[in-house]
Amino acid sequence: MAGTLRLREHLQEVISLLSNESKISSLPLNENKEDEEEITFTDLNYTKSSNKMTTNMIDIVDPIDYEEYVDEHRQKIENDPLHHLLEYPNDDIDFIRIDRQYRTIIPAMPEKEALNDPHIRDCLQSFNGEHFFLRRNYNHHGSAITLLNVRQEQMQALKQTAKQDYEVDLIDDNRQILIEQERDSPRKLVINDSIINPIKSSWVLAKDDLDKTEPDTIMPHLIERIPIESVDKENELLRGKNRYSKLFSSYPPQADTDCIEYRPPAEPLQPYTTFKLQVKCLDFRFEPEIEPMFITLALYDYKERKKISENFHYDLNSDALKQMIHIRPAVDGSTLSLSAIFPISFPSPDIYLIIRVEKVLQQGDLSDCAEPYIKQDIKNQQRYYEQAIQFSQRLGRFRMPFAWSAISLRDILKEIEQETILSGHANTLPANTELINSTNKASSLERKNLGTGGLRNAYESFRRSRDESLTRNNSKKNDDRQIPTSSPTSTLSPINTNLSATSDEFFHILANFDRPIIVTLKGVYKQESERLTDEDIFKFLTDFRKPPTLAKKPKTIPAFIRFEFNQIHPGDSVDCCLDPQLNRLKPYTDDTRRPIKELLEFPPREIYLPHTSYRNILYLYPLSLNLSNLTTRGSTSARNIAVKIQLMGGEEEIFALPLIFGKSSGHEMIKEIYLPVLYHLKSPSFYDEVKIRLPGVLDENHHLFFTFSHISCQPKENAPIETPIGYTWLPLLNNNQLVHGDFNLPVACERPPHNYSLVPPTNHDVNNVKWADSHKPLFSLSIRPSSTIHSLDERLENFFHMYNQLRKQAYTSHHHHHHSHYQITDKDFKQAIMDTVWAQAEKLVQFLYILLDTLLSLLVRAPILNGHILNVNQTCFETLAKIVQRIQRDLLADLNDTHGRNRLLLTYIHYECTLHTPTETDMTAVSSKSASLRPNSLYFQRRVPRSTSNPDLPSPSLSPEDEMALAAANGGFISPNNSSGKQIGEISQGVIKDAAYSNKTSQQRKPLHEELLFQWVVSSGATRDFAFGNSWFFFELLIKTMGHYLHITNRFQIDRRHRFSYQFCDDITTLLRLIIRELLDRQYHTQRNGIDGKIHCTQLNTSLAFFINDCLSLMDRGFIFGLIKIYCKEFDLEIAHGQPTDTSYYISLKLDFIRIVCSHEHYITLNLPLLPCIPPSPSPSIGSMQSYSSNNINNNNNNNNTNGNNQRTITIQQTDLTYEYRQEHYLVGIILNDLQNVLTKTSYLEIYIRKKHLVL
């Protein structure tokens, strides 16, 4: 107890020094424990009895009107030499435009006609539009950043501090037991050292050392008189010798969880880090060279049994061979590429590079075609060559499969790790395959010299981000996979016998992949006509992974193929590279060079990243065809079947669109493409991939058209080469959504009739069509789009389509006065909005930014249906809250920081959000009440709910007719027939500046920040719970929209009291009271929004504190002080009257709140460090003393009557912390008042001591 009293006395001295006043009276402290428990402090009327604290009065100070105070002392502030500390700097906040970094030279864009579509414009606005970042230029002066720097200094100091050695005396266990028994026993036991083996202590050893050491030299001048000043000076020099300059930095740093005022900054969305494998095709030839050959490369994941990349086509035929099929030398440069980059998001030892070889179609099966190469018949080589010329000239546009091979990524990387040459033929490499370390060969890339350690660290970071951040948790089983031990290791060198490397070991190998590796294939496998599909490839790979005695390998064809494998490290720039849409990537310095193609990856697992660029590609995979029961017009069975594929914009041949990507050595985009032909087969299987660039806007006329033809391989007089035998089609839209997935289509014997494209062929209502084999499905195919404008999710597509139609209808009805045939009801649209919450997880994240932009747009730009404004504001806010809840708590919870802020959503708010904020002119036109002055009273009463964007609530804005006209003419409504570009806005280098968003003539009925806050205030039930559970999102979004509103309306330069409307301030106050009640009532809920009740309240309290901190930079500071007062008053009441178990929790919340608020970078300025004419401290004003005296006299009388004679009353004069001082220096006053509570109340003292981060 004496120690506690001394601590209290010491703290009183501290507070006196902080107040810069002499101590008028000291608090008499009673060292008697019983008397102390009955002390009553009459100045504040606190009573402590039986460890339970009650209060009769809460000491609350009304803050001054900050802005008025600053205006009154403006002259003094400007004349003060430290005026920069007395007012915010002019450049305190900047709203800067974000310069987006594009990988392509020009951002990817659709065709110009598509820019009139509202949904396309929304997507492009998200990808390429103007976005702004709210920057607080002096945020680094806040205590959060300062504390972070101190922690870094502490960590550095700890590293530099020498290791301390301590000497400890060791005691035998038995001796220690006897010593403890002696201490506890009433009779002292005698410890016999002869029984217990004694251990010499340090002082015994030191004594022995002293006896053996030489005596010290006699100190000179020991008894001479030396001036005391000289002694002090010499001692000071000795003390400073070898002293560490920052001694307190060696103290252990504060834990991360205790640094509550630090918010990790938002970071721009970074591209997904992948392992990139570059494959260069160096050489390719067969012996003998008889005919042209064509190679296709693709990556397959054996473990996932999926194809994980698109195809890469290349052609290394000589000019003589190319002339055999009349290939003109003037071809598009993109088709001449001989190098490809394969992105691999999930590197695995089970990835294979599959090589397929095709040749020109000829008469004869695959065995006959391979015979000249297998037998090496030199005598008949000229005859083979002449036959090849005939077939190439006649059937040059048709190809047939010839051979294939596979290279394992594991074997290539294992060679790097072992530094040996792989001899023989490896477990998955064809016979006569060689691996060569190209250590002396210069790479084509100017790679950064990261070093092995840097690479390893980079891939460790990449692996963690891959496995922990952007993939589903249930896919961890793939990270722990091992290569089966049943691999044919007997064919490898002894070092390579153990191939059961884990993923970590595999990443270690990737880290050492820092030089090119050349692979030479001296043979390929003959293609079997019955085993062409991807599933057949995986069966082959399964056989290859078996022991050699059990493996069944197909026949080998001699060949010579050389590849160079290289890794593109993060940060490397590849010159003359094209993206999957053939857009040029930076840098592109030489138009004459063969380009490098970066291929599109098909990740085997879901990746949770939003789309950031335009892409609209469709991949078509024909699977099988069965025309065994179909005959040609000549009554012969259909064989040698060729499939021609076209993308049609209409039903006539002239509507075939040149949007199909060509293959090697040809045109970049073509109108039609043929699949490889299998000789003499009536039911062929297919393996080819058709890549199509989709138009930005699809309609009911767009469809895929398939023509099946019989190819006559043997020349006949007057007989055509190609004879059509069947047709089928597939509309690209089904219920206004892009089709995808697997399809089984019937085949028509004749060309379909007029308007066939409007109905799918599977519909039995199609008239005047003669179907083959009784309308059975004969043609199977798979469609796989890769689009950033088509979500491929039914719920998302339904919502985007409805919203698109409503905007188009509004424009049409306003300008042309007629209604569209497509009718949407209010109920349907609201249901479509709410259904977006349950979209597929990956699709929801991919279109998250576009979806959130659309919901925020609907909050302030409600659509019009049949002349009435749809009331969807509450629905949009409810959906917004649920989406944020699902992202943060369910899908990407591992991306949350210590404050529960999700990094993906944080990036959206600060960097990707499209803000819909009106200009000053718009606000004047909408409502003259929006610029109302700040109310005089800080206690706002809840008025009648109002929302100018909600027709069901009172509105101070324009008439309903004018509102509908404004909304119809605005809100992003774009005419589909507009070709002048006036509604499109500005388009420069692919960057969109949307007129609907930025044009000053654009009007809306309410600022976004006001509507967002209002909907939050009036929300209830689960919606309010979700909003409170993710309050940081809505608070930071509010700050962003508030800042943008001030920026776009030029309100940063006006008085803070006039920046925001009275209604908005009223809603903030109401929300504050709701949150306070939530904090005080919900702590006992074991589960709140999926988390513990106290964690929920802690995060909500922290988010509120950061919001108040941010508002001090934007709003009226006196108004914000009023909010702080409300918060402190409510919590002080609960602390005073609450249960002891609740008191510590409430104090903890309040301390965290005050600490975060006081971490503002202008904390000194906010406390008004001016010298008034009459100092408020230490001499209090007469008025404040009278008010305190009157209150204290009444309360003292009550206390005396209640307590009787059993209590001793101690009167303390309130001179150390006056009312005026706490009023003018408001934040400091709150802190010092709490510190005073520490001095005067034992329970406070115990709680504050336990709380390590007392704010001073």
* Segment 485-520, tens digit of pLDDT: 223 322 223 323 333 345 667 777 777 788 888 888
pLDDT digits (tens, 9 = 90+) for 899-954: 999 999 999 999 999 887 554 444 443 333 333 333 333 333 333 334 444 434 43
What is the domain-level CATH number for residue 631? Answer: 2.60.40.150
- Residue 562 included in any domain: yes
Q: How far is CA 122 from CA 127, 243, 789, 791, in A?
A: 9, 64, 9, 14
Q: What is the dihedral of CA 856, 862, 865, 868, to 10 degrees?
A: 160
Closest CA to 521 of 423, 412, 405, 418: 405
Closest CA to 290 of 206, 238, 360: 360
Beta bridge partners of 132: 97
Beta bridge partners of 763: none
- Residue 587 included in any domain: yes
Report which residue type is found at 842: E
pLDDT band at 368 (very low <50, low <70, confident <90, very high): confident
DSSP 447: -
> Which tokens belong to 61?
């100070």
Beta bridge partners of 355: 297, 405
pLDDT digits (tens, 9 = 90+) for 1101-1133: 999 999 999 999 999 999 999 999 999 999 998
Same domain? For 352 and 486 the reply is yes
Boundary of a domain, candidates 550, 568, 598: 598
> Which tokens belong to 881?
């809250």
Residue 1200: burial class (beta carbons within 10 Å; 0-12, 13-18, 19+): middle
Task: Name which of 363-372, 975-984, 1112-1121, 1157-1166 the model is least confident about.
Answer: 975-984
Among residues of the chain, what percentage have pLDDT more than 90? 39
Same domain? For 288 and 407 the reply is yes
Mean of pLDDT over the chain: 75
Boundary of a domain, candidates 785, 810, 839: 785
pLDDT band at 374 (very low <50, low <70, confident <90, very high): confident
Same domain? For 594 and 660 the reply is no
pLDDT digits (tens, 9 = 90+) for 880-911: 999 999 999 899 999 999 899 999 999 999 99
Same domain? For 582 and 682 the reply is no
- Residue 483 included in any domain: yes
Helices (H), 741-895: 794-816, 826-835, 841-846, 848-860, 873-885
Q: How far is CA 458 from CA 341, 465, 469, 569, in A?
A: 19, 11, 16, 9
Same domain? For 468 and 537 the reply is yes
Same domain? For 528 and 646 the reply is no
* Residue 150 pLDDT: 75
* Residue 442 pLDDT: 31
- What domain range includes position 298? 275-598
pLDDT digits (tens, 9 = 90+) for 551-599: 777 888 999 999 999 999 888 889 999 999 999 999 999 999 999 999 9
* Residue 352 pLDDT: 94
pLDDT band at 1244 (very low <50, low <70, confident <90, very high): low
Per the model's pLDDT, the better-predicted residue between 131 and 960 turns out to be 131
Contacts of 666 (CB under 8 A, 6+ apart): 327, 331, 332, 335
Per the model's pLDDT, the better-predicted residue between 178 and 321 turns out to be 321
Per the model's pLDDT, the better-predicted residue between 785 and 256 turns out to be 785
* Residue 531 pLDDT: 85
- Average pLDDT estimate for 362-388: 84
Same domain? For 587 and 628 the reply is no
DSSP 26: P
- Average pLDDT estimate for 94-105: 88
> Which tokens belong to 1243?
């329970």
Per the model's pLDDT, the better-predicted residue between 156 and 731 turns out to be 731
- Residue 914 included in any domain: no
pLDDT at 850 over 70: yes
Residue carrying structure tokens 């010839």:
402
Cα 663–Cα 669–Cα 672 angle in degrees, nearest 5:
80
Closest CA to 737 of 688, 802, 687: 802
Boundary of a domain, candidates 785, 804, 830: 785
Domain count within the chain: 2
> Which tokens belong to 88?
């915010």
* Residue 658 pLDDT: 95
CA 275 to chain CA mean position, Å: 19
pLDDT at 456 over 60: no
Same domain? For 593 and 624 the reply is no
Q: What gap in Å lies between CA 644 and CA 658, rounded to an integer? A: 14
Same domain? For 591 and 645 the reply is no
- Average pLDDT estimate for 136-162: 79
pLDDT at 540 over 80: yes
Helix axes 1226-1240, 2-18, angle to 10 degrees: 160
Q: Decide: helix, strand or coil at residue 466.
A: helix
pLDDT band at 244 (very low <50, low <70, confident <90, very high): low
> Which tokens belong to 1138?
């609450």
Choose from 21-35, 281-295, 805-819 the range with maximum mean pLDDT.
281-295
- Residue 116 included in any domain: no
pLDDT band at 58 (very low <50, low <70, confident <90, very high): low
- Average pLDDT estimate for 828-854: 95
Q: How far is CA 68 from CA 580, 1057, 1112, in A?
A: 61, 9, 15
Same domain? For 571 and 633 the reply is no
Compute the residue count for the chain: 1256
Q: What is the CA radius of gyration of the chain?
A: 40
- Average pLDDT estimate for 635-664: 89
First to last CA, the chain: 26
- Residue 163 included in any domain: no
Contacts of 1133 (CB under 8 A, 6+ apart): 58
Per the model's pLDDT, the better-predicted residue between 1066 and 463 turns out to be 1066
Q: What gap in Å lies between CA 819 and CA 808, rounded to an integer? A: 10
The phi and psi torsions of 1015 (rounded to 5 degrees) equal -65, -30
- Residue 661 included in any domain: yes
> Which tokens belong to 937?
């009273």
Q: Decide: helix, strand or coil at residue 704.
A: strand
Q: What gap in Å lies between CA 190 and CA 175, rounded to an integer? A: 11
Pairing of strands 596-598, 741-746: unpaired
Residue 717: burial class (beta carbons within 10 Å; 0-12, 13-18, 19+): exposed
Same domain? For 588 and 643 the reply is no
- Reported pTM: 0.79
pLDDT digits (tens, 9 = 90+) for 415-449: 665 543 333 334 444 444 555 444 333 333 233 33
pLDDT at 801 over 50: yes
* Residue 680 pLDDT: 84
Contacts of 217 (CB under 8 A, 6+ apart): none
- Average pLDDT estimate for 42-64: 51
> Which tokens belong to 433?
């395959």
- Residue 592 included in any domain: yes
Same domain? For 579 and 629 the reply is no
Per the model's pLDDT, the better-predicted residue between 24 and 574 turns out to be 574
pLDDT at 193 over 50: no
